[in-house]
Chain A
Amino acid sequence: MTLDFSPAWAGWQDLATGAATTVEVTACSLVLGCVLGLLVGIGRLAPQRRITFGICTAYLTFIRGTPLLVQLFILFFGLPQFGIILPAFACGVLGLGVYSGAYVSEIVRGSIQSVDRGQMEAARSLGMPYRMAMRKVILPQAFVRMIPPLGNEFIALIKNSALVSLLTIDDLMHEGEKIISVSYRSLEVYIVIAFIYLILTSATSLVLRRTEKALRADGRV
């Protein structure tokens, strides 16, 4: 048996556009995930606010307790039953973003709680309201600590984004499958796709490591 990579090479332009779509979907979901994660993470810091805490916990439990694929299918195939028809791209971003928001929220909560209690006390003792202290004192410190676990989450998101190919989005995975469907060179194409995903994830982790290093540079955090 011989390996024949020529169909994969011949389709490089399609794979490149697919990879661009993957980056696009991931980047959009990332933004959504971070915004959601920040809100939910902060919402779960105060159990005495029962309604906020309850909603945030319910969201977290549902999202983490059910498969991402099922969540994506609910959005893409389920919602049209109620006349809610979202474009595939929107479904993909929404599904991935909401999914990753759950994990980001736990990262946010953990990082905030890892900031010394005295920081909040010092800020409050100066007369700052809770939210202002959170925004100006706690979050800037928590943010630096979030970077390593967020990096892992981003990488997971890039890999999970392959699932949106099942929603007809022409991402890297989908473009690869189109090449396979005409060339029957599954192994070779999948190897090439895997390699491209590897480049995307490695680049991400490199950028994040650099960022963290730069932020920690003068021993501030």
Chain B
Amino acid sequence: MNEAIVMNEHIVSVRQLGKSFGANRVLQGIDMDVQPSQVIVVIGPSGSGKSTFLRCLNGLETAEEGTVRICGHALVEHGKMIDESGLNRVRRDVGMVFQSFNLFPHLNVLHNIMLAPRSLARLSVDEAESQARALLAKVGLAHKADVFPGTLSGGQKQRVAIARALAMRPQVMLFDEPTSALDPELVGEVLQVMQTLASEGMTMLIVTHEMNFARDVADTVVVMDHGKVIEAGPPAQIFSSPQEARTRSFLQAVLSRESIL
């Protein structure tokens, strides 16, 4: 395999991505390139369009302008979305973790993880189950295979949700505020799983308010405001010498809150 070429190829490539909700232009021409194994953390004030941007990358939101290429698929081509069957293929390659976990409450933990691989990747029961158990062990929840999601803590739910997304063997993982719905003492266990994933070379795009995590794990921090990328760069640069006044005031507000905690 010619690794140099693979490394130079962008696994995610976004050009002039735009979207409106009614009169509100939530995304106003986003550009972004992500290389394989890169960890991108997107930060910014609420309402800046971070989540919408992330949801455009797996078609949960319909982009209206621009182009999105992801994992070799032309998801959006000049404002036109790929067709439905194409969209389903894209989503197999792009895992997503939600703020509210969204585990399937009628299935136990094991079957939450097995459902998609069984139905879509046509894995046999044995294959799917051994994969699911391995993923559960990876997120530290091997002993919870047979319980229902309702009995888990928030942190455990989110770790199962990560395992569920990984079960489709995605090339890119999207995290939409994965720790925002958690009690403070449960945030660490989820971040730790994400950090492991990053160190294993998973390509990740993460919307989060966890600034320490961004500093430690991100390759690039992207700051969004009013539907635009106002600044992007390595965490050291963004956190210690931000160029934009808006970045400074946002970081000031967030970091002062963290120092109080």
A221 and B120 within 8 A (CB): no
Task: Give A177 to B92 CA distance when docked, in angstroms.
Answer: 64
A198 close to B (CB within 8 Å): no
A140 and B102 within 8 A (CB): no
B236 close to A (CB within 8 Å): no
**Most A CB atoms within 10 A — which of B95, B100, B119, B165?**
B119
Rounded to whole Å, the gap between the CB of B100 and the closest CB of chain A is 5
With beta carbons under 8 angstroms apart, the residue of B60, B85, B150, B151 that contacts A124 is B60
Residues of B near A220 (CB, < 8 A) are 105-106, 148, 150
A67 close to B (CB within 8 Å): no
Rounded to whole Å, the gap between the CB of B119 and the closest CB of chain A is 6
Residues of B near A140 (CB, < 8 A) are 106
B119 and A218 within 8 A (CB): no
B84 close to A (CB within 8 Å): yes
For chain B, the bracket of interface size reads: 20 to 34
A4 close to B (CB within 8 Å): no
Residues of A near B58 (CB, < 8 A) are 125
Per the 8 Å Cβ criterion, residues 92-130 of A in contact with B are 116, 118-119, 121-130
Task: Give A141 to B107 CA distance when docked, in angstroms.
Answer: 10
Closest A residue by C-beta to B161: A122
Closest A residue by C-beta to B93: A127
**Most B CB atoms within 10 A — which of A121, A127, A137, A144?**
A127
Closest B residue by C-beta to A144: B106
Contact with B along A21-62 (1 / 0, CB 8 A): 000000000000000000000000000000000000000000
Interface Cβ pair total, 8 Å cutoff = 74
Residues of B near A132 (CB, < 8 A) are 119-120
Residues of A near B165 (CB, < 8 A) are 125-126
A126 and B92 within 8 A (CB): yes
Per the 8 Å Cβ criterion, residues 157-171 of B in contact with A are 161, 164-165, 168
A178 close to B (CB within 8 Å): no
A221 and B105 within 8 A (CB): yes
A125 and B60 within 8 A (CB): yes
Residues of B near A141 (CB, < 8 A) are 104-106
Contact with A along B78-107 (1 / 0, CB 8 A): 000000110011011011101010111110
A64 close to B (CB within 8 Å): no
A219 close to B (CB within 8 Å): yes
Closest B residue by C-beta to A121: B60
A118 and B100 within 8 A (CB): yes
B116 close to A (CB within 8 Å): yes
With beta carbons under 8 angstroms apart, the residue of A121, A129, A136 that contacts B102 is A121
Sample of 14 further A-B pairs with CB below 8 A, known A126-B95, A137-B104? A116-B100, A121-B102, A123-B104, A124-B60, A125-B58, A127-B91, A127-B168, A128-B116, A129-B84, A129-B85, A137-B115, A219-B150, A220-B148, A221-B105
Q: Measuring CB to CB, which residues of chain A are less than 8 angstroms from any residue of chain B?
A: 116, 118-119, 121-130, 132, 136-137, 140-141, 144, 218-221
Closest 8 CB pairs of A and B: A122-B102, A127-B92, A126-B116, A118-B102, A127-B91, A125-B96, A219-B150, A140-B106
Q: Measuring CB to CB, which residues of chain B are less than 8 angstroms from any residue of chain A?
A: 58, 60, 84-85, 88-89, 91-92, 94-96, 98, 100, 102-106, 115-116, 119-120, 148, 150-151, 161, 164-165, 168
A sample of 14 inter-chain contacts (CB < 8 A) reads A122-B96, A125-B91, A125-B98, A126-B165, A127-B116, A128-B116, A128-B120, A129-B88, A137-B115, A141-B105, A141-B106, A218-B148, A221-B105, A221-B106
